[in-house]
Structure 1
Amino acid sequence: MAGGNFLETVDRSGIIELDRLGEQFNRMVLYLRESFRSLAAERDTAQRFAADAAHELKTPVTTLRAYHELITENPERLKQVLPAQGRQIERMENIISGLLQLANLSEGSGLMLQPADLREAIHRLAPVYQALAEDSGHHLTTTCPDSPVPVLLDQRLLELALNNLMDNAGKYTPPGGQLTLTLQVDTRSAVITVKDTGKGIAPEEMPFIFERFQRGVDTQSIPGTGLGLAIAREAVQRLGGTITADSEAGRGTQFVIHLPLLQTQ
C-alpha cells in the first residue's frame, strides 16, 4: 500500500484490537482509492475540455491568419475582408465567454441559493424574452401559476439556463413560429418548460445535445458555439434540478427543467 497499491486490504486476525485497527485502515484505503479515482476523472475531464476548446478556437484563429496574409499581400482588399474578420473575432469572443461561464459554474464560485418565488423570478424575465421574440418575428406565450412557487434559487443561474434555452428556441424556429415558456407545479417539483415549433433535433443527435461544442450537422449556418445547452445543464444542476429534452424533427423541441420545491411550514 505504501507503494501505491490500494487494491489490497488488511485481513482479520482474530485479535480484537488488531481487527479494530484493521477496519480503520481498510476504511482509509477505500477512501484513498475513491479519492484517486475522482481525481483521475477530473483530470480526464479537464484534458477533454482543453482539447475541445483548442479544437473550437483553432478554426477562427486559422481563418484570421489567412485573412491577415491576404491583406498583407493585397492591402486594397482590406475593406472587403474586414466584415469577415469581425465575424471570426465575435465567434472567438462567444466561445471564450461560454468557456468562462462553464468554468465559473463548475467551480461554484459566487453562487448563493436562497428561498425565492420562482413565479416572480420568471415574471421578471418574461418581458425581455417577449421583446426578443417579437424582434425575431416569433409569438411567445408565458404561463405561470396564480400562487407562489417556493424554491431555493440563484437568479443568475436561472437566467443562464433560460437565456440559453430561449435563445436556442428562437434561433431554430422560423419567423412566425410559436414559443412557449411555462411554469407548473407537481407534487415534488417546480416544472419549467421551454417549447418551440422549430426544425427539431434528429433522433441520432439527441443523446449528445448537452455535450460541450455539440452542434447539429445541418446547423452551421445558424450562429452558435455549441456551448449553450451545456451551460444550461450545468446551471440547472447547480440549482439542484434536472433538465431533459424531447424533440421531433420538423415539429419542434421541448426542454423541461425540474427544480425541487422548498417545503414551507
Structure 2
Amino acid sequence: MKKRQIIKSRKLWIIFTFLTFSVMSVSVMVTSFCLLVAFERGLLSPRFGISAFAPFSVTSIAVATVLSMFVSRAMLYPVRDFSDAAKRISKGDFSKKLNENNLIEEIASASKNFNLMMTELEKLEGFRSEFAASVSHEFKTPLGKIKGYAELLREGDLSLEEKENCINQIVSGVDKLNAMSEKMLSLARFENQQIVLNKSKFSLDEQLRQCFLLFETRWSEKEIEPSFELEEFDYFGDSNLLSHIWTNIFDNAIKFTPNGGNINIELKKEKRYAVVTVFNSGEGIKEKDISHIFEKFYQVDRSRNDRGSGLGLSLVKRIVELCGGEISVKSELGRGTEFKVYLPLSEI
C-alpha cells in the first residue's frame, strides 16, 4: 500500500515536471524564433550569429529543466502535506499542523482553515473522551449502590425493616440513573438543536409559580420560606424549553438551601429582556467553583449524599443560549447564591 502511494506521488511529480518543462521549452523556442526574425531583419547585430542559438537553446532547456523540478516540488509539497494530514486524521491523530506561510494566497488560506478544523476536531475528540470517562464514573456510583443492596437482599438474613431499607435504596439508585439518563439525552438533543421552533405566547410569571410548586414537598419538608416578586406579562417563546430552565434552577436552589432558609424568585422587564432572578440562602459557592459551575458533571460538593448528576446547570446554560439569552451566577460565602437569566423579548 505504501509502495503504491510512493509510486503515485512520483507519477504526479513527473507529470507536473513534464508540464512545467514543456511550457518553459515552448517559451524558449518562441524566444529563439523572435531572435532569429530579429537577425534576419537586421534588428540585431550580425556578430551574434546563428551559431549562438544552439548553446543558447541547450542552456535554456537545461535551466528550464532544473527550475521545473524545483517549482514542481514546491508546488506539490502542500498537496502532499494535505494528504499526509488527512491520513493522520483518519487514524485519530490531530497533532499534524500545516504550514500557513505559503506564497500562494489560496494555499495559505486553505492551510489556515485546515488547521482550524484540526484544532476543533482535537477539542471534540478530547470532549468525547472526557465525556465517556465522566459518564462511566458517574454511573458507577448508583450502579454500585444498587448491586450492593441487591446482594444484601439475596442473602435473605435481614429483618423486615432492613429489607424495606434495601428496596428503598435500590429504587433511589434507579431513580438517579433514570434522571441522569434523561438529562444526558436532553443535553445531547439541545446541543444539536440550533433554533427554537415551537414558540407561543404564555404567562411567564405563572409558569415560574407552577414550576416552583412542583417541588412543594421538598421545600415544605425543609421549612424553606419562598418569596415571589413577579411582574405579570406574557412571553413569546418555547414554554417547554423554559420549564427545563426553571425546574433545574429551582431543584438546585432547594438542594443547597438549609432548613429554615429562604428562596426569592423575581421577574421583571429590563429594556429588551425578561430577567429572572433566583436567590437562595445558604453556604454559597467558592470562587474557584463558580467558573466551572456550568461544566458537564461538575460537582460543587461531592461529599453530599443528595448530590445530583452535575448535568442540570449545563442543560440550563445550553437552553438559555438556544433561546438567545444569557445566564450569570454570583455567590457570597455564608450568605447564598443568585442566578440571573436574561431572555430576549421577541416581537409577537
TM-score, normalised with respect to structure 2? 0.63
3-state SS of 2:210 partner: helix
Q: CA deviation at 1:55?
A: 0.2
Q: CA deviation at 1:41?
A: 1.3
Counterpart in the other structure of 2:124: 42
Query: Post-superposition, which runs of at least 4 consecutive aligned residues in structure 1 deviate over 6 A?
Result: none
Separation of aligned partners in 2, 1:97 and 1:109: 20
Counterpart in the other structure of 2:7: none
Question: Relative contact order (C-alpha < 8 Å, sep 6+): which is higher?
Answer: 1
Separation of aligned partners in 1, 2:303 and 2:310: 10
Contact 1:133/1:139, CA 8 A, preserved across alignment: no
1:199-236 CA distance string (max 9 Å, x none)? 32233322222222222337513352222212111211
Would you say how many aligned residue pairs link Structure 1 and Structure 2? 250
Q: CA deviation at 1:65?
A: 2.6
Can you give the 5+ residue segments of structure 1 that lack an aligned partner in the other structure? 13-21
Amino acid at match of 2:124: E
Contact 2:199/2:239, CA 8 A, preserved across alignment: no
3-state SS of 2:227 partner: strand
Counterpart in the other structure of 2:175: 90
1:32 and 2:118 matched:
no
Amino acid at match of 1:7: L
Please say which structure displays the higher CA radius of gyration: 2
Picking from 134, 138, 142, the partner of 2:228 is 142
Amino acid at match of 1:211: E
Q: CA deviation at 1:157?
A: 2.1
Counterpart in the other structure of 2:249: 165
3-state SS of 1:76 partner: coil
Mark the CA change 1:76 to 1:134 in structure 2 (over 3 Å): closer, same or farther: closer
Separation of aligned partners in 2, 1:229 and 1:257: 12
1:237 and 2:321 matched:
yes
3-state SS of 1:195 partner: strand
Mark the CA change 1:219 to 1:236 in structure 2 (over 3 Å): closer, same or farther: farther
Mark the CA change 1:34 to 1:253 in structure 2 (over 3 Å): closer, same or farther: same
Amino acid at match of 2:296: R
Mark the CA change 1:149 to 1:218 in structure 2 (over 3 Å): closer, same or farther: same
Mark the CA change 1:61 to 1:109 in structure 2 (over 3 Å): closer, same or farther: farther
TM-score, normalised with respect to structure 1? 0.80
Can you give the 5+ residue segments of structure 2 that lack an aligned partner in the other structure? 1-80, 86-95
Flag the structure with higher helix content: 2
Counterpart in the other structure of 1:126: 209
Contact 1:244/1:256, CA 8 A, preserved across alignment: yes
Picking from 248, 255, 258, the partner of 2:339 is 255
Contact 1:133/1:140, CA 8 A, preserved across alignment: no
Counterpart in the other structure of 1:3: 84
Counterpart in the other structure of 1:103: 188
Picking from 269, 277, 283, the partner of 1:185 is 269
Separation of aligned partners in 1, 2:102 and 2:110: 14
1:21-54 CA distance string (max 9 Å, x none)? x333333332222222222211211211111010
Identical aligned residues as a percent: 25
1:163-200 CA distance string (max 9 Å, x none)? 11111112222344322222223334332211112332
Q: CA deviation at 1:147?
A: 5.4
Root-mean-square deviation (CA, aligned residues, Å) is 2.9
